[in-house]
Amino acid sequence: MLQWLINHNPHYATYHINNTIIESLPEDGVPIKILAAIKQEEDVGIIDAEMDAYVPEAPTVILDPNDNSQCFYDLDK
């Protein structure tokens, strides 16, 4: 998918896939450097507080039944 974006989307044209790095990743599991940065928290309220800080609520998508090429976002929801 990323290679397709690089080939077909000008926003990704300057990116390069480093196959050596990709081949060094584990086939199954999470790389050690990522695991080292993970912190487990028992208080689930923290998740809501963190999410409110940087992830906006997704708008409701409304599709026009008469035109499949258009979609509208209900930003009031």
The pLDDT tens digits of the residues spanning 8-67 come to: 999 999 999 999 988 888 888 888 888 888 888 788 788 777 776 665 666 666 666 666
What is the C-alpha to C-alpha distance for residues 14 and 1, in angstroms, rounded to an integer?
16
Q: Is the pTM of this model over 0.75?
A: no
Q: How far apart are CA 64 and CA 72, in angstroms?
A: 7
What's the one-letter identity of residue 39? Answer: K
* All residues at 6 or more sequence positions from 17 whose CB lies less than 8 Å from its CB, including other chains: 2, 3, 6
Place of tokens 């080939």: 7
Per-residue pLDDT at 31:
85
